[in-house]
Structure 1
Amino acid sequence: MKLISSQNYLPVLIVSLVLLWGCKQPETVVIEDAPTASAPADTTEEYPTGDDNSDFRKLVIGEYQSITSFDPLLADNGATMRALQLIYEGLVRLDSNGNTVPAVAKNWEVSNDSLTYTFTLNQNIYYHDSEVFSTGTGRRLTAQDVKFVFERMAKAGNPSTAAKLFWNIKGFEPYYQEQHNVYEPEKRTLSEVSGIQTPNDSTVVFELHEEDPQFLEKLATPYALIYPREAVNNTQKSFAPVGSGPFTLSSQRADSGYIFAKSQKYHAYKTIRLNRVDILTSSSESNLIRQMASGNIHLLPEIGPNIIQNFATDAGTLKAGFNDRYTLTKRNNPIEITLRFNPNTDITEEDAERISRLTYANTSSYFEQLPDPIVAVDSTENQQPSDTTITEENLYAVFSDDPFIRTYLGNLSKILNRQGVNLEMTKFRIPTRNTELWVTQHASFINEDKDKLNNNYPVVFRFRVYPTALQRNEITGLNFNQYGWWLNLRGVSLPTADKLN
């Protein structure tokens, strides 16, 4: 057996949205101009401030995406995934070099054939205090919690993204298929995933069908974070954000402000040097820039096209005038964004090919003000616009709130307009028979897969975005690995509020 323990592991788009009635969809959103560098002078946004005394260290994070859920299975964007890692831990986690290190598990063994993984849990892991527990006090995390979390991935009503990461576990596929296709519970014959065993409270064993060199990395994704079964209220369809991680969710202001307090029960309490973390979300990149410049925000873990345009050079480095105050960090693992066409609509394959040739022939116009090292167009096909006469007069694209996608669609709309084609964005996030175009995203281990629709929608155009962070130089101990969805605040600190410029 190979033993791994905690002692020996490897060291935007700013757009105006106008709702209107379309002829093929009940409601559409008009795609407008590319990003601008400045914001309207009257744009203001207030956030909770909290106490800033001489002993208090608060890190404020800005996100251009909304935090959509605190249920790990529903994580659908980078902002949500980063927030989840404040509250929860998985069996393992990733360090700043992308190596797998212990978290809830203190060590693990891998069989010689690499098909059996045996995890020994740290018995000093306790959940945060919460009303979900009968006593209000967080109980100890057990192996049965781990088994519950993985079997919940396979249950009907949950997205399939997490389940597909762990399809290789013995018994997982049959359990998933029965849960999804045998609708009457009394007719189901499987009560568990056979390849996940818990011989005692501190041991979890996974048996795989075949070797998976990335199994440990998959366990380190936000989809495999551990939470108690008490957090899941099946009758009220609710989920409580209760974990065993370094911070607890202290309060939430609507959907734009979140306060996380340092957990007194965290097993590695001494590694947490921050008293509090605030996350402020805003779809206005210009607002985030102003908040950053005024010192109200200290970290932007993922910046959009407008902020990139303001802070980055053509080479993808920080502009010289900002070096004394900020650090720009580009991760080397990109998010792949793909424009697809829907063969189930009226659009013909010939028109789809013409749109593809047109888009590849105009690659320079989509992100002309953004550096290639951060936003790169996959132009290997280099298709020439020999015939770009598109017969469709109106095209509809599925809704997205991602600023890079909106920037791309906005510029594509202008190109198509010159061909006499009107492109609009619907309010729907999933394609219908009246939606010709769909833009999907894929990052390592984080695949936007809507019931295999991706495979049925042929590719029209593809580009890559390398997640990039902007931080105040006063922050110490903050590192990033290759994954844009990853965040680790252990060991991170910054001066008290009265000493920040």
Structure 2
Amino acid sequence: MNNTLSKKLLILLPLMILLYGCGTTDTVTVVEQSPESATAQDGDESTQPRDEFQQLRVGTLEPITNFDPLFADNLSTLRVIALIYDGLFKLNPEGEPEPALVSDYSVSEDGRQYELTINRDLYFHDSNVFGAGVGRRIQADDIRWAFERTAKSHVPPTASQLLMNISGYENYFIEQRTIYDESKRVLDRITGIEVVDAETIRITLKQPDDTFLHKLASPYLSIYPREAAQNSDNSLKNAPVGTGAYVLNSATEGEIVLSRKPSPRFTDQIEKYPVNRIDFVYQSSESEMFQSFARENIDWMPELGPQIKKQVTVDGYNLNAAYENQFTLVQNSAKRLTMIYVNQNSEQNMDYVKNQLSELNADQFTSTGTVSFEPFEASDADSLAETPSELYIPFTDNPFAKTLLTDINNSVFQPETKLAFLDIRAVTPETSLYSRWTDSFHYPFFNGRNYAGYWLSAESVIIGIHHSFIDGIVPSSVPWLLPLEGLTVDRPEQDAS
């Protein structure tokens, strides 16, 4: 090899190494597959100046024990789920649907067919449910699979009530719930849900429905990858995987921590959601919760329980004068609905129960909202002479149901009889009364299937309070909506002494 060639190779060798290194970087397209993987780890505060970091502490009315959208069993859980996941649509504070995972859609002239284009620039959160731990791009088949899962026999039927009008859905639902031998099932899909391509899904309804987009915005119809629901070690119950602005950082008894999960491809997300971290705090005692709030250990209570509402409001809607300079009250148009049922299949003395309930009047319910019911007629049956010492009801976390049942107990059963909670949540022949909850958004869709036959109904306007250093909270007509877009926390420095 001559000297000239040697010199040329020596000059070219560093350049070749540099080009090889660049070529290697270009071929490993981790950032292209998941823009989120280029961001800091969940909960890492080091990427922002400390004075920009914003933490929000929220008091919840009920415990949050399951992050699977299909298993949400209280309104507090729906509020958290709506931050972790997205649906095809979302509702603004006025209750109008807006695209979320959808980038475009069209509706046929007869109002029965919806063609939805999925925003393929969106990715699922990074998670171990994916092979490399990197969240993949969302696709139309994820929507089809998530909707089919709502019909399965191993999940609650709540979400299915929102999809019954889709062609073929009810038949698929019935077969999944009644034919337990899978080899005998003949329906392998829902005919009214068609995946056209990776970014397009077509949904056909049996009848036109002006509220269909509203239904698609329910947190019960949140979208998640099948990998998350099929992985037994990282089930959605404990390890949610969505596309929302926040991810689960930690979950302990009484406290849930969410961290903002910005994507560098959507730089406006940081401006849209200024709050970096949200701590959801649950205390079973309303008085203890309010004391934590008064001490500024809790910044915001989006929904007041019946006891706190009675203490801090006048007529249930206006802030008590004693608190006017301390807290800000937010009155929403959304409502919580609590129903009390009489168990017609109970083994307890139901003649006695109905006779006692005939003595109730609406004035005996003072802190649970607007109560309506049809009293039973008094009876002279011989069985009324048998006075039970206890009547049983399934346990509930709903403080409004607890207050209603306490009012009933104190008004008509005491002192001869007392209502007692069983350590069970199912309605059994041992129980005489039981409760269910829903909200003013879902009730029109669920009534007749899930919530028919109640004896008493209580409508409670959702009232919230927050400290003055929270800015950006607006009233909402959506029961589960926490209006975090643009919300800021300017907590004053606490005196270390």
Larger mean Cα displacement after TM superposition, 273-282 or 180-189: 180-189
C-alpha deviation, 1:462, in angstroms: 2.7
Residue 289 (structure 2) aligns with: 288
What do residues 166-212 of structure 1 show as CA deviations (whole Å, max 9, x unaligned)?
11111111211222222222222222111111111111211000112
Q: In structure 2, how many angstroms separate the alpha carbons of the residues matched to 1:294 and 1:206? A: 51
1:244 and 2:243 equivalent? yes
C-alpha deviation, 1:310, in angstroms: 2.2
AA partner of residue 292 (structure 1): F
1:476 and 2:471 equivalent? yes
AA partner of residue 286 (structure 2): E
C-alpha deviation, 1:94, in angstroms: 0.4
Residue 339 (structure 2) aligns with: 338
Q: In structure 2, how many angstroms separate the alpha carbons of the residues matched to 1:481 and 1:351? A: 43
Q: In structure 1, how many angstroms separate the alpha carbons of the residues matched to 2:431 and 2:298? A: 39
AA partner of residue 494 (structure 1): V
C-alpha deviation, 1:445, in angstroms: 4.7
Residue 310 (structure 1) aligns with: 311
Q: In structure 2, how many angstroms separate the alpha carbons of the residues matched to 1:387 and 1:500? A: 68
Unaligned regions of 5+ residues in structure 1, if any? 1-47
Question: Contact 1:67 / 1:80 at 8 angstroms: preserved in 2?
Answer: yes
1:377 and 2:371 equivalent? yes
- The 5-angstrom pairing of residues 156-235 of structure 1 reads 156-233=153-230, 235=232
Question: Contact 1:328 / 1:468 at 8 angstroms: preserved in 2?
Answer: yes
Question: Contact 1:416 / 1:422 at 8 angstroms: preserved in 2?
Answer: no
Larger mean Cα displacement after TM superposition, 386-395 or 306-315: 386-395
Question: Contact 2:440 / 2:479 at 8 angstroms: preserved in 1?
Answer: no
Residue 434 (structure 1) aligns with: 430
Residue 255 (structure 1) aligns with: 253
Q: In structure 1, how many angstroms separate the alpha carbons of the residues matched to 2:71 and 2:385? A: 38
Return the match for 1:460 from 436, 441, 455.
455
C-alpha deviation, 1:116, in angstroms: 0.7
Larger mean Cα displacement after TM superposition, 303-312 or 51-60: 51-60
Residues 234/131 of structure 1: CA separation in 2 closer, same or farther (3 Å cut) = closer
Residue 365 (structure 2) aligns with: 366
Q: In structure 1, how many angstroms separate the alpha carbons of the residues matched to 2:191 and 2:495? A: 54
Question: Contact 2:441 / 2:479 at 8 angstroms: preserved in 1?
Answer: no
Residue 9 (structure 2) aligns with: none
1:115 and 2:112 equivalent? yes
What do residues 54-96 of structure 1 show as CA deviations (whole Å, max 9, x unaligned)?
2211111111210121100001111100001111111110001
Corresponding residue SS for 1:467: strand
TM-score relative to the length of structure 1: 0.81
**Using CA pairs below 8 Å that are at least 6 residues apart, which structure has the higher relative contact order?**
1
Q: In structure 2, how many angstroms separate the alpha carbons of the residues matched to 1:435 and 1:157? A: 25
Residue 39 (structure 2) aligns with: none
Q: In structure 1, how many angstroms separate the alpha carbons of the residues matched to 2:190 and 2:494? A: 54
Q: In structure 1, how many angstroms separate the alpha carbons of the residues matched to 2:379 and 2:186? A: 59
1:356 and 2:363 equivalent? no
**Which is richer in helix?**
2
Q: In structure 1, how many angstroms separate the alpha carbons of the residues matched to 2:222 and 2:261? A: 17
C-alpha deviation, 1:485, in angstroms: 2.0
C-alpha deviation, 1:320, in angstroms: 2.0
What is the aligned length? 442
Residue 39 (structure 1) aligns with: none
Question: Contact 2:225 / 2:241 at 8 angstroms: preserved in 1?
Answer: yes
Q: In structure 2, how many angstroms separate the alpha carbons of the residues matched to 1:280 and 1:443? A: 22
Return the match for 2:398 from 402, 413, 420.
402
Residues 230/311 of structure 1: CA separation in 2 closer, same or farther (3 Å cut) = same
C-alpha deviation, 1:390, in angstroms: 7.1
AA partner of residue 434 (structure 1): E
Residue 328 (structure 1) aligns with: 329
Corresponding residue SS for 2:77: helix
Residue 420 (structure 2) aligns with: 424
Q: In structure 2, how many angstroms separate the alpha carbons of the residues matched to 1:54 and 1:385? A: 67
What do residues 263-297 of structure 1 show as CA deviations (whole Å, max 9, x unaligned)?
12284513111111111111122222122112221
